[in-house]
Structure 1
Amino acid sequence: MNNERKNLYFFYRQTEEVLQKITPLISLAKQHGFTIVDDAQSANVIVAIGGDGAFLQAVRKTGFRNDALYVGMSTGELGFYCDFTIEDHEGLLHAMKSENIEVRKYPTLKVTIDEEDTTFHCLNECSIRSSVIKTFAMDVFIDDLYFETFRGDGMIVSTPTGSTAYTKSLNGSIVDPMLRCYQVSELASLNNNHYRTLGSSFLLSDQRKLTFKIQQENSQFPIIGMDNEALSSKHSEVISFQLSDVVIKTVKLKNNSFWHKVKRSFL
């Protein structure tokens, strides 16, 4: 066994149903020489049980570990981040014990609020949406170039893997995670004689910096969504985005590439 992958941490909701299913998995893992740890920072492998939402929460709650392997186990159908089902105990343990395990690397998004005051990471997307039934305005900059003034319900900035989630519902492009880029999409933009936006999603390379400067009119501040968590942006004025150097590593299985998952989910 690879000693770098012997400490397992299980992230899951402690419901009766999940506990019944995870107990035999934990016992089997111990029998195969794995150590089950209670502290995620001591783990080499972090196993998220539940679904894609649980995987996103596991990554966020454990601090976007760049030095650990994340594994998704679904309690239902397989998702984009879940390569195993809860019943597939042997498949998971076999993958963990393999000396020639292949690793898939997912890029993350770095979000900075008010010039380094607060920084977050996102695996799927960051959304900026109106907190009331009213549009709000933002000046959009690409690097140092003023690009447009957006007025509408909000904007979505997504990673390549996040392109299959919220962004897809906005008719954004599905982006191969092997591309070092991120995507910007509009939510119900207002286009008239005063406001004019591009009106379509666009991609930025990992060398580009995107900045939103929120216009402070009427003190209407938006809500920021970080993957599947919400953050109030009250009193925040500038939100910046860049593709991060932090990558999330997952198990790469044969015949289960990103495009296998796209086909399975949508076609």
Structure 2
Amino acid sequence: MRYYVLDRGDQLSVDLAQQFHRLASERGFELDAESPEIVVSIGGDGTMLHAFHTFIDRLSDMAFVGVHTGHLGFYADWRADELHDLVDHMSGKNGQEPKKPRIVQYPLIELDIYKKSGNSSHIALNEFTLKGVDGTVVAQVDINDVTFEMFRGDGICISTPSGSTAYNKALGGAMVHPQIEALQLAEIASINNRVYRTLGSSLLLPKHHHCDIFSRKEQRLVLTLDHLNIPVDDLISVRCQVSNQKISFARYRPFPFWNRVRNAFLS
């Protein structure tokens, strides 16, 4: 098996990464930074986002496994003290055949960013946000090429189903099961008056829909793709839709989505 490990950089995560390398070497795994079959993320959800963007051009060829060393590991199936169990499942225990994982795929967001200085395309695992630097954001929101609302406020958040448990939840958005291929638009502190009228609640768009966010004044903005910040002062618009690409996670044992939600927020 070809594998690669990314760790958060704190001492516990570094120690676990070294331990994983040692165990993997004993089981005959091949360390491969270019084309791994399995990418192991050791740390928190931020580490998984980093792993995702590291291999963003090769998503169809690999699956991810998370080991969490912090307080909240929404993308992680394994605790720090279960590393031996994970390697046993991956390699086969006591001479048995390796356990074939169940591959679970989560939807992603595709973003086309149009600026006066040039255009670019991106995908995000958790969310995309648009925020103002100097004041409120003024933007027109279209759905399927029809004007839906004029927005004024702190910003707009577009999340995936898996990202619906992150910033979107803090904004009052709904938590969405990742088997539902959709994106969610949530407002960040919208201002409603006679000129600017917004829905005031988050909304879900299915895979075959898209939304466009048009900048409606000269404004300095920060576009955030997961953990990556992009300063922009010449934005024209952003098109958001569910991507045709997906991220794959290797499940070596059952860990249902709603169990993750319960463990993260209710336990």
Aligned partner letter, 1:204: L
1:77-226 alignment, distance < 5 Å: 77=71, 79-97=73-91, 98-114=98-114, 117-132=119-134, 134-216=135-217, 219-226=218-225
Richer in strand (by share): 2
Alpha-carbon shift at residue 99 of structure 1 (Å)? 4.2
Partner of 1:242: 241
Equivalent-residue separation in structure 1 for 2:13 and 2:100 (angstroms): 30
8 Å CA contact 1:163, 1:173 repeated in 2: yes
Aligned partner letter, 1:154: G
Aligned partner letter, 1:72: G
Greater than 6 Å deviation, 4+ residue runs: none
Partner of 2:94: none
Alpha-carbon shift at residue 252 of structure 1 (Å)? 2.5
Q: Does 1:43 align with 2:48?
A: no
Q: Does 1:70 align with 2:64?
A: yes
8 Å CA contact 1:80, 1:258 repeated in 2: no
How many corresponding residue pairs?
A: 257
Equivalent-residue separation in structure 2 for 1:150 and 1:248 (angstroms): 31
Alpha-carbon shift at residue 24 of structure 1 (Å)? 2.2
Alpha-carbon shift at residue 246 of structure 1 (Å)? 1.1
Alpha-carbon shift at residue 221 of structure 1 (Å)? 2.4
Partner of 2:21: 26
Distance of aligned partners of 1:14 and 1:154 in 2 relative to their CA distance in 1, 3 Å threshold: closer
8 Å CA contact 1:136, 1:151 repeated in 2: yes
Structure 1 vs Structure 2: percent identity of aligned residues? 32
- TM-score, with structure 1 as normaliser: 0.91
8 Å CA contact 1:78, 1:84 repeated in 2: no
Equivalent-residue separation in structure 1 for 2:81 and 2:17 (angstroms): 9
Aligned partner letter, 2:87: L
Equivalent-residue separation in structure 2 for 1:19 and 1:153 (angstroms): 38
Equivalent-residue separation in structure 2 for 1:54 and 1:239 (angstroms): 26
8 Å CA contact 2:12, 2:69 repeated in 1: no
List runs of 5+ in structure 1 lacking aligned partners.
Answer: 1-5
SS in 1 for 2:208: coil
8 Å CA contact 1:76, 1:85 repeated in 2: no
Equivalent-residue separation in structure 2 for 1:197 and 1:120 (angstroms): 27
Partner of 1:230: 229
List runs of 5+ in structure 2 lacking aligned partners.
Answer: 92-97
Distance of aligned partners of 1:78 and 1:255 in 2 relative to their CA distance in 1, 3 Å threshold: farther
Partner of 1:8: 3
Please list the CA deviations of residues 116-152 of structure 1 after superposition, one character each: whole Å capped at 9, or x if unmatched: 82011100000001112x2121111111111111111
SS in 2 for 1:42: coil
8 Å CA contact 1:51, 1:74 repeated in 2: yes
Alpha-carbon shift at residue 83 of structure 1 (Å)? 0.9
Structural RMSD (CA): 1.7
